Amino acid sequence: MEPSTLTVLYDGDCAFCASTASLLRRLDRRRRLRLVQLHEASVPGQPSLDQLVDTLHAVDAEGRWWAGGDALIEISRRVPPLRPLMWLAQLPLARPAINLGYRVVAANRHLISRLLNLKACTRDAPRQ
């Protein structure tokens, strides 16, 4: 059974997040993802804007929500080039490791944007 379409809410004001969404669009040849900037999103049951800005969120057609690393795993179920992440997540202790990795990247997305020579996130940028 093929997985349903997944709506992915991302921070369009963050260069790293927007670049990642652009990459997902290119990889998603079957059009299983609906990528929506969180500031334009209106999805039943969606978390608060503060929660959406801090963590990647995704929701399927049945109204089930995922956040952080769990959202990445759900994305990987729908995008064939990313399926190894889904398979990896089935190993013991892999899911907590994926979630930890996600939190580290999310907490450092401003730095990652600068290191990748992307326009830095305009909101909530670290003070220098």
Summarize pLDDT for 90-102 with one digit per residue, the tens. 999 999 999 999 9
Supply the pTM of this predicted model.
Answer: 0.84
Assigned domain for 19 exists: yes
Domain interval for residue 16: 6-115
Q: Please report, to the nearest 10 degrees, the dihedral formed by the alpha carbons of residues 83, 120, 11, 17 taken in order.
A: -10
Assigned domain for 124 exists: no
Number of domains making up the chain: 1
Assigned domain for 1 exists: no
Low-confidence ranges of the chain (pLDDT < 70): 1-2, 120-128
